[in-house]
Structure formats: C-alpha cells, structure tokens
Amino acid sequence: MPAPDVQTTADIRAAMADGATAVEICSTYLARVAAENDAIHAFTHVAGEQALEDAAAVDASGQGRDAAFPLAGVPIAIKDNISTRGMPTTASSRILAGFVPPYDATVIERLRAAGAVIIGKTNCDEFAMGSTTEHSVSGPTRNPWDLSRVPGGSSGGSAAAVAARLSPIALGSDTGGSIRQPAAFCGIVGLKPTYGRVSRYGLLAFASSLDQIGPFALTVADVAVLLAAIAGPDPADATSSAEKVPSFPASLGEPVAHPTIGVPWKLLEDGVDADVSTAFTTAIDILRSQGATIVDVPLPHAVYAVPTYYVVAPAEASSNLARYDGVRFGFRAPAGPNRSDLDTMYNLTRDTGFGDEVKRRIMLGTYALSTGYYDAYYVKAQQVRTLIRRDYDTAFERVDAVAMPTTPTVAFGLGERSADPLRMYAGDVFTVSANLTGLPALSVPGGRDPSGLPVGLQFVGRAFDEATLLRLAANYERDAPCWREFPPTAALASGIPDPTS
Ligand code: GLN
C-alpha cells in the first residue's frame, strides 16, 4: 500500500512552518498510539500528559521554526532500556518493575536539548537479550506487516512503532543486531553506529564492549538527522570517542562516486532463505546499475561470529546483571521465612525477577568466565574476535562497504522459535560481526518476499565512517521500489489524520 505521505521529520517540520504546533503533532501521534497500540504492543509506557507539556514548551520556545533545531517538535519513541528521568525504565524486566531513573541518559539529554518530544517507552526483549521481543515481561510486540509475526528484537517495539507510523523516529540499542534486525523485519531503516560514536551513559548495560544506541526511521535522511543529534564525545562515558562528528545530514548530498562494495558470497551460500537471497541479488543489481563495482570479500572467520558472540555477550551480561539483587533498584522479592537471611532475599529476587532467557545468559556467561574454562571459552572468543576484525580490515583495503542481507529469513511467526534457542541465535549470523568488531552497520529496506514481507539490506562500513553508509543507503533508497510503502495495519489506515496535512 503506498503511503500518501512518508512523514519524515522534514514533513513534520514543514507542517510546523505552515503553522502546525508541536502540541498538534504530538496529539496526532498520541491518538494513533491510542488506536493501534493494543494490537501491536509497541509501547509499554505512553508519556501522554508529559509529552504534551514538553511539546507546549517547544511551541513556547520557537525552536519549532528554527532550522538549527531540526528535531524540535518531532515525536520520538525510546527503547525501555534507555534511562529517562521521570519515566519508567525497566528493560522489559520484572526485576526493574516500577523503576524510574533519577537522571536522563546522555542521548535523552541531547534529544531534549534538540527539542524532540519523547512520546513513550517501547517494548524490548528483557535486558535486550533476544531477537523477537517475546522475552518481555509485558508480552510480545507484533509485526505491523503481519500481526501473527514477530517484529524482530530486541528493539522490536521501537521498530514496530516507526513502521506503523506511531512515531516518526525512535531509538534502540544494538549489541548483536537489535537495531538492524527489527529494522529489517519491519521494513524501516536502522543504524548501529561505530562503537564509541554514541554515549552509552544511561543505557542499561547488557554487554558493555558491544552495546551501542542508535536510530530508527522511515528514511535514511532521518537516520542521519537523529544520529547527528545523539553522536559525539561524552565525559560521562569513557568509551565514547573524541572522533570528529561530521555533519551527517549534509554529507547525504554527496553520493559516493563509483563505490566498491564487497559481498561475502561464500558466507551467503548456506542457511539463507531463497526469498531473501533473491531480494538480495536484486538489491545488488540495483547497486550495480547505480555504478557500484561489486567484488567478492572472503571474511573467512565470519562463520565463527555467532559462537564467539554467544560467549562474549553472556560473559559481560553475567557481570553487568550482578547489580540487580533487590537492594538498590526496582523489584525485591518478599522476605523469606527467615527475614534476616540476605542470601535468600538475593536468590528469591533474582529467581523471580529475571526471565528464563536472562537466566540462561547469566549461566552461560558465569560458566565461560569460571576458573578452568576462562581460557578455553572467554580468551578463545576474544582471539577469534580479533581474527574477525582483521578480516574486515583486509576487506576495507579494497572496498568502501560490505553488503549482505541483514537476516537469513524474513519475520517469522510468534512462538515459532521460542523453544529452540540455538535456532534463534543462528539468525544473528549477519549482524553480530559488526558488534564484535565495533564497526558501523545499517539496515535499509531491501525489497519484499513474495508475500510482501520486508527484507533488509545491510551495509557494514569502516570505523567512524557512518557517513559513507548513509550515503550509499540513501542512494540505494532512491531507486529501491518499496521504501514509500507502509504496512496494511498501520495507523494511517485506521483513519487517524495525517499530522502533516
Ligand atoms: N539477538 C541478539 C541477542 O539475543 C542481539 C541482541 C541485541 O543486539 N541486544 O543477544
């Protein structure tokens, strides 16, 4: 179904230049959320009154007509593992039930300073561990393209919200694909920035050497605008980089002349669904027709990326999640029979507060870090991680970006894989390498399967070269036939008016 209007941040700003107020824009999106969220369950908290107050403040400030504030008055949805002062932040876990942080994450501070209006918190897999949002204490999000399917995860709520036009832009976090995979499943654009490009201060840590916050939007241009707003060094995060932040939106105007794009054809030989392969080959043909040279890149260690990731990520998670013990944050199990027994309180809190997938990761990670296994698993995984990075370094001597499908399949049915964790983990084959290497990676809508479900095209770039990824993707997006379409269940179809018309 072609969208009458794409509703980008620029559309919203144009409407404001024509006299619409931030309060009107915000009300329209809130009305859509009210109409659609029961079916999709993208939001776990809707900011309502608070959002309208923030929008009124933007109207009073005049930022909405000031070009220096391209996000002023633009609604945004935030994944629930990013700290928001005065709003619940639970990472979709029972153990953080009722937790309201006393401070904003750095990305939130920057968004507020830019005049963006936070309309709510979105559903995710518990502590961002998963690929479907099924591991959420509040139940799964549904894919707006087909409500019987998963939206992907772990940032599935953010991706579904944008795809269904419940929010024009959103933030997610990506530790092993959690922005790119749901972007692919929901037919939108998602970017994992280079490790260190965006401050992690205020992000509830899953695996600290892999986590990055990043943008979701309907278009590459909007991803560029949102990245520009949140990127840059932060004294509160020692791993944030001092690397210069280019003007991402401005750089979109200069397409990459005759790019060379590497494709790891060997890696794509096994385990990729035929429909995804077909869409990918078509996408590569479009890139070629635009003047790109396509070359084969071997990436010989990429086949080890999933087992490497599933040692490193749980190891770091087991350490990061030790802090949830019932003492400082959120949920505490009711006292046991012996009220003075601290261990019992810890154990009961963690036993009833964490879900099964989180417990599985804590156990895997604790095992991989324990005496006698540390060298065999954790150290080995770190060594393989270096080999994977070297493969990419070698590839980038010849290519401007590496392209591959974001995922080996399109969105699958709710419940279809939840009983088979290994099969679920295998679906991360194309996304985890970018986290293990720290490299930036972007997923852009790359066609549809015969039933109309979105397929993602992924570009991986050189460290701190998000600008090239954005330019390549923007160029691709111009000629790709599907990007202006929207899901049949979307809010626009429900008769809630277009806020920009
Ligand atoms: N699907 C991966 C996992 O389950 C990635 C999660 C993420 O990026 N947060 O760990």
Question: What are the structural domains of the chain?
Answer: 9-257+410-494 (3.90.1300.10)
How does residue 498 score in pLDDT terms, banded at 50, 70 and 90? low
SS3 annotation, 393-461: HHHCCCCCEEEEECCCCCCCECCCCCCCHHHHHHCCCCCHHHHHHCCCEEEEEEEECCCCCEEEEEEEC
Provide mean pLDDT across the span 460-477. 97
Give the per-residue pLDDT at 3. Answer: 43
Most ligand 1 atoms within 8 A of CB, residue of 82, 428, 431, 458 to mutate: 428
Tell me how crowded residue 105 is: count the other CB atoms within 10 A of its CB: 28
244 is catalytic: no
At 111-152, the pLDDT tens digits run 999 999 999 999 999 999 999 999 999 999 999 999 999 999
Q: Is the CB of 189 under 6 A from ligand 1?
A: no
Give the per-residue pLDDT at 242. Answer: 97
At 240-268, the pLDDT tens digits run 999 999 999 999 988 888 999 999 999 99
Question: For residue 483, is pLDDT > 60?
Answer: no
CA of 153 to the centre of ligand 1 (A): 7
At 189-235, the pLDDT tens digits run 999 999 999 999 999 999 999 999 999 999 999 999 999 999 999 99
Q: Is the CB of 428 under 6 A from ligand 1?
A: yes
Catalytic-labelled residue, pool 131, 154, 173, 433: 154
How does residue 333 score in pLDDT terms, banded at 50, 70 and 90? confident
Provide mean pLDDT across the span 3-21. 84
Q: Is the CB of 178 under 6 A from ligand 1?
A: yes
CA of 287 to the centre of ligand 1 (A): 29
How does residue 344 score in pLDDT terms, banded at 50, 70 and 90? confident
Mean pLDDT, the chain, integer: 94
Provide mean pLDDT across the span 338-346. 79
Question: For residue 5, is pLDDT > 60?
Answer: no
CA angle 255, 256, 257 (to 5 degrees): 105
CA angle 321, 422, 383 (to 5 degrees): 65
At 154-199, the pLDDT tens digits run 999 999 999 999 999 999 999 999 999 999 999 999 999 999 999 9
Q: Where are the beta strands (DSSP E) in 264-317?
A: 293-296
**Whose C-alpha lies nearest to ligand 1, atom 10?**
129
CA of 253 to the centre of ligand 1 (A): 33
The atom of ligand 1 lying closest to the CA of 177 is: 8
Q: Is the CB of 140 under 6 A from ligand 1?
A: no
Q: Is the CB of 144 under 6 A from ligand 1?
A: no
Q: Is the CB of 177 under 6 A from ligand 1?
A: yes
CA of 175 to the centre of ligand 1 (A): 6
Give the per-residue pLDDT at 343. Answer: 86
CA of 344 to the centre of ligand 1 (A): 30
Question: For residue 468, is pLDDT > 90?
Answer: yes
Percent of the chain residues topping a pLDDT of 90: 88
Give the per-residue pLDDT at 491. Answer: 47
Whole-prediction pTM value? 0.96
Most ligand 1 atoms within 8 A of CB, residue of 80, 122, 127, 129 to mutate: 129
Question: Which region among 17-21, 76-80, 127-131 has the lowest average model confidence (pLDDT)?
Answer: 17-21
3-state helix, strand, coil in the chain (%, to 5): 40, 15, 45
Question: For residue 28, is pLDDT > 50?
Answer: yes
CA of 332 to the centre of ligand 1 (A): 26
Cα distance between residue 309 and residue 321, in whole Å: 17
The atom of ligand 1 lying closest to the CA of 153 is: 1
Question: Which region among 76-80, 133-137, 476-480, 484-488 has the lowest average model confidence (pLDDT)?
Answer: 484-488
Percent of the chain residues topping a pLDDT of 70: 94
Q: Which residue has the higher pLDDT, 11 or 495?
A: 11
Q: Is the CB of 134 under 6 A from ligand 1?
A: no
154 is catalytic: yes
178 is catalytic: yes
